Amino acid sequence: MNRLPGHPDEKKRSGMDISLWVFWVPGALLVGLIMLALLTIAIPALSNPAGLSAAITDGEVIRSLLLTFAAGANAVVILFVLGTPLAFALARTETRWKGALESLVDLPMILPHTVAGLMIYLLFMVRGPLGAPFADIGIFFEDAYPGIVAAMTFVAIPYYVNAVRSGFDQVPVHLENVARTLGASRLRVFWHISLPLCTRPILYGCLLAWGRAIGEFAAVIMIAYFPLVISTLIFYRFTTGGLVESTGIAFIMIVLCGLIFLLFRLLTARKGRYDDRA
């Protein structure tokens, strides 16, 4: 069957609508800025293979990377357990206090990182409102792994909750209503209908939250300078050894994060995709 040149299938086959170039051209300036920034790290790192090799095999760098990625993953698990119900409640509730609650959730995103770090420190230090009861059972946050996770979780809250809430907003409410009329409880409807249809936004929220968490610096060092996360290690190496000591580690972090983000997007390209457009 012959199709007209402007048929949607023809546009898909060609790869890109030519008319989109008017949007790609200004957007290319931002992409170019990112690429230029990458080159300023990649060129010095690759031009010093001995230093890059030393960074790759450095035990402290490896431990710091594993610690950072693990703490970020722990933060995402906490956000999934606590943030998913919150996102669903925000998406399905209409109240005069909703705007204030949404603003409260967004607060960690707009706070200076040092302010966020100070809040976490005061909250989780040994004499803090949350730190004291945890200390009584032997869990400490100052200069300890739990402090790193707490700081990462706090700064990543709005990134996860907002992404997942937007996903729940796209789930057709009439599907939930039909299930409710058939006798399903709110919790069962959430588990069997709303949550599966929101898989893709949840995965995207996890990616955003993890990326934000592992990139945190100021909030982490104010509660737990040690053990060293990768951002703290890069800062330490920069202040003690300059660009030679820090560039290789930064390049390794860029490559790992880039590969992880790319792999994640490839594996979840069609996962949980929902589109009700004609």
Per-residue pLDDT tens for 41-65?
999 999 999 999 999 999 999 999 9
Taking each helix axis as running N to C, give the angle between helix 230-267 and helix 199-214, from 0 to 180 degrees, rounded to the nearest 10: 160
CA distance 249 to 63: 12
CA distance 259 to 89: 34
Residues 6+ apart with CB under 8 A from 157: 79, 83, 105, 108, 209
Which residue, among 108, 81, 101, 68, has the nearest Cα to 164 in the 3D structure? Answer: 81
Over residues 158-185, mean pLDDT = 94
| Residue 19 pLDDT class (50, 70, 90 cuts) | confident
Per-residue pLDDT tens for 78-105?
999 999 999 999 999 988 888 899 999 9
- Six-digit token string for 248: 């290789």
pTM, two decimals, is: 0.88
For every residue of 31-46, DSSP letters joined together read HHHHHHHHHHHHHHHH
CA distance 172 to 162: 18
| Residue 273 pLDDT class (50, 70, 90 cuts) | low
Residue 249 DSSP SS3: helix
Per-residue pLDDT tens for 206-242?
999 999 999 999 999 999 999 999 999 999 999 999 9
CA distance 27 to 53: 35
Which residue ranges make up each domain of the chain?
A: 58-227
Residues 6+ apart with CB under 8 A from 18: none
pLDDT > 90 in the chain, percent: 81
Question: Residues for the chain: how many in total?
Answer: 278
Q: Fold for domain 58-227?
A: MetI-like fold (1.10.3720)
Asked whether 73 and 54 are in contact (CB, 8 A), the reply is no
CA distance 73 to 159: 14
Asked whether 65 and 256 are in contact (CB, 8 A), the reply is yes
